[in-house]
């Protein structure tokens, strides 16, 4: 709760700082505020206390995810210092909107009432609609914002419909009550319940970009400013998955919903990986790789293992760290290539800046799931969960798709390590170097010592 208040105040403060023209203060202020939020969450103050009429409850799950999300946002802000140094207008607003969106994310990881879940999604998304259109003179950015807004509203409609149906069948919006009545509902009430759950999950699937609710993701990722894309594919995705988990964890899922999840997982794995093979634009590639990783994350929902939230946490955070680093590298490479996003821009990277190339390689290897990186540990745990839950064929399919996934990451590594006469000259500011190195080291260290990211 205190985190929510703190973040909201921080957002307002950032707006004021912008109003008084203190541009250089923005990012440091934001970072200090975020770190303070992290400390507050970590201290465990008012943990496990039902708040706001028992609609929000900060438990262990929320606390762990909350810390990780704020940490990733801190990285994003450090990245933002350099990223926004060339932008003249509305920088404060963009920072503030990210913070406001983070408030929604915090709600998503701590809700215990379906209405708060809806509120969380809306608070998370509405700033994003604006942020996606952040480059006001860019046609693609506008297109991204508009697409995101339309499809997002559509998903919200779905979602509300689902909540209404659930309310109709259980006469309650309380999460625990709704979950408990999965077994008891019968007859037409059961039908309502199923439909309600179906629509709710569809709404969430939209947010995590699971097939067939993924259509917005490549276009929006590509059109949005890179910093916003980085935010969407890390914090937003993680928060949405956490919300998803809270919704269905610990409940006896009806058979039909179980089937729906399996089908969604298979489709997401398949489409994300296969379509990614055809991508030549790096940003789009990352969008499809994001969809593919959603597939692996969905696998954690299939069984009912008590270790599932830990795996979800580990996977989503390590994925976020790797993706964040790659977006920073992309920004730098894109700058030196005058806005080109083709993966060719990485060619010769090893010649011009070896360290950057090595880190890029590590990040990509982590996404690909090669041993000794965090990505391997994450995938391995997902496979363990899948087989433990009895989904042997689904897991086998996921393993096959992991192989496909390796291919498109390796293509990028190949580019970075192919020599070229005129190697790209990358200008790396010290802070960006810090972010990239942090992400690169993190995926290796977390891969070697997975216990560091204990749930």
Partner 1 sequence: MALLALLLIPLLTAMVLLVATPTRYARGIALFSSLVSLALTLWLWSNYQGIPVQALDVEWATAWGLRFTLGYDGVGLLMLLLTALVYPFIIGAGYGERLQHPSMTNALLLFTQSFVMGVFTAQNLLLFYIFYELALLPVFFLLLYWGGERRRAITVRFFMYTLLGGLSLLFGAVYCLVQVEGFNGDLSALATLDLPYDTQVWLFWVLFLAFAIKLPIFPFHGWQPDTYTTAPVQGTMVLSAVMLKMGLYGTMRIVFPAVPLGVEHWRDTVIVLSLVGAIYAAVIAFRQSDLRRLIAYSSLSHVGVLCAGLFTCNRLGMTGSLYQAFAHAVLAIGMLYISGALKERVGSSEMAAMGGLKARVPRLAVLFMLVLVNAIGLPFTQSFVGEWLMFAGLWQVSTWLSLAAVSTIVLGAIYMLYAYQRVMLGTDKWEIEMSDVSLRDHLVLVPLVTLTFVLGVHPRPILDLVEGPVQVLLTSFPSLN
b/e code 414-442 from CB counts within 10 Å (16+ = b)? ebbbeeeeeebebebeebbbebbebbbeb
- Give min distance, CB of 79 to partner 1, in A: 28
Contacting residue, 7, 109, 377, 453, with partner 1 by CB under 8 A: 377
- Give min distance, CB of 372 to partner 1, in A: 6
Contacting residue, 146, 417, 438, 455, with partner 1 by CB under 8 A: 417
Q: Is residue 407 near partner 1 by the rule CB under 8 A?
A: yes
Which of 17-25, 145-153, 226-234, 398-406 is the region at the interface with partner 1 (rule: CB under 8 A)? 398-406
- Give min distance, CB of 400 to partner 1, in A: 8
Q: Is residue 421 near partner 1 by the rule CB under 8 A?
A: no
- Chain Cα centroid distance, residue 440: 18
Q: Is residue 393 near partner 1 by the rule CB under 8 A?
A: no
Q: Is residue 274 near partner 1 by the rule CB under 8 A?
A: no
SS3 annotation, 119-179:
HHHHHHHHHHHHHHCCCCCCHHHHHHHHHHHHHHHHHHHHHHHHHHHHHHHHCCCEHHHHH
The Cα–Cα gap between 218 and 224 comes to 10
- Give min distance, CB of 275 to partner 1, in A: 18
- Are 134 and 224 spatial neighbours (Cβ–Cβ below 8 Å)? yes
- CB closer to partner 1 out of 114 and 365: 365
The Cα–Cα gap between 132 and 220 comes to 7
Backbone CA torsion sign across 14, 241, 366, 415: negative
Which of 258-266, 317-325, 383-391, 430-438 is the region at the interface with partner 1 (rule: CB under 8 A)? 383-391
Q: Which residue has the tokens 């270790």?
A: 307
Q: Is residue 451 near partner 1 by the rule CB under 8 A?
A: yes
- Give min distance, CB of 418 to partner 1, in A: 7
- CB closer to partner 1 out of 125 and 381: 381
Q: Is residue 395 near partner 1 by the rule CB under 8 A?
A: yes
- Give min distance, CB of 117 to partner 1, in A: 32
Total site size for partner 1, rule CB under 8 A: 29
Q: Is residue 15 near partner 1 by the rule CB under 8 A?
A: no
Q: Is residue 450 near partner 1 by the rule CB under 8 A?
A: yes
Site for partner 1 in 85-144 (CB under 8 A): none
Q: Is residue 445 near partner 1 by the rule CB under 8 A?
A: no
Q: Is residue 366 near partner 1 by the rule CB under 8 A?
A: no
The Cα–Cα gap between 205 and 243 comes to 11
Burial class of residue 306 in the structure, from the number of CB atoms within 10 Å of its CB (0-12 exposed, 13-18 middle, 19+ buried): exposed
Q: Is residue 213 near partner 1 by the rule CB under 8 A?
A: no
Which of 80-88, 203-211, 279-287, 400-408 is the region at the interface with partner 1 (rule: CB under 8 A)? 400-408
- CB closer to partner 1 out of 21 and 419: 419
List contacts with partner 1 (CB under 8 A).
Answer: 365, 370-372, 376-377, 380-381, 383-384, 387-388, 392, 395-396, 399-400, 402-403, 406-407, 410-411, 414, 417-419, 450-451
């Amino acid at each position: 709760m205190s985190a929510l208040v703190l973040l909201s105040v921080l957002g307002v403060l950032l707006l004021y700082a912008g109003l008084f023209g203190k541009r250089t203060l923005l990012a440091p202020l934001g970072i200090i505020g975020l770190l303070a939020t992290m400390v507050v969450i970590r201290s465990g103050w008012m943990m496990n206390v039902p708040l706001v009429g028992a609609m929000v409850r900060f438990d262990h799950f929320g606390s762990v995810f909350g810390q990780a999300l704020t940490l990733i946002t801190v990285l994003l802000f450090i990245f933002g210092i350099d990223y926004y140094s060339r932008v003249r207008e509305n920088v404060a607003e963009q920072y503030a909107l990210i913070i406001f969106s983070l408030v929604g994310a915090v709600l998503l990881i701590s809700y215990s009432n379906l209405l708060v879940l809806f509120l969380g999604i809306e608070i998370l998304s509405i700033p994003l609609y604006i942020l996606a259109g952040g480059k006001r003179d860019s046609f693609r950015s506008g297109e991204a914002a508009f697409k995101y807004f339309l499809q997002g509203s559509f998903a919200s409609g779905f979602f509300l419909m689902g909540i209404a149906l659930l309310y109709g069948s259980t006469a309650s919006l309380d999460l625990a009550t709704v979950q408990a009545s999965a077994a008891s509902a019968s007859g037409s009430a059961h039908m309502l319940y199923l439909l309600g759950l179906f629509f709710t999950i569809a709404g969430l699937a939209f947010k995590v970009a699971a097939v067939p609710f993924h259509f917005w993701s490549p276009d929006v990722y590509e059109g949005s400013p890179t910093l916003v894309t980085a935010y969407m594919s890390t914090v937003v995705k993680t928060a949405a998955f956490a919300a998803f988990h809270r919704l269905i964890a610990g409940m006896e899922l009806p058979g039909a919903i179980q089937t729906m999840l399996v089908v969604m997982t298979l489709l997401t794995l398949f489409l994300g990986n296969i379509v990614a093979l055809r991508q030549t634009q790096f940003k789009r590639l990352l969008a499809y790789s994001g969809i593919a990783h959603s597939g692996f994350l969905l696998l954690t929902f299939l069984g009912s293992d008590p270790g599932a939230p830990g795996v979800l946490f580990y996977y989503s955070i390590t994925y976020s760290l790797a993706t964040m680093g790659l977006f920073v590298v992309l920004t730098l490479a894109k700058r030196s290539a005058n806005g080109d996003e083709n993966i060719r821009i990485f060619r010769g990277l090893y010649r011009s800046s070896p360290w950057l190339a090595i880190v890029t390689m590590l990040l990509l290897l982590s996404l690909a799931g090669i041993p000794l990186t965090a990505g391997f540990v994450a995938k391995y745990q997902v496979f363990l969960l899948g087989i433990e839950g009895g989904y042997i064929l689904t897991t086998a399919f996921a393993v096959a798709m992991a192989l496909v996934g390796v291919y498109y990451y390796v293509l990028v590594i190949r580019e970075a390590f192919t020599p070229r006469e005129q190697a790209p000259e990358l200008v790396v500011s010290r802070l960006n170097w810090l972010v990239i190195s942090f992400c690169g080291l993190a995926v290796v260290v977390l891969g070697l010592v997975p216990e560091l990211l204990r749930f």
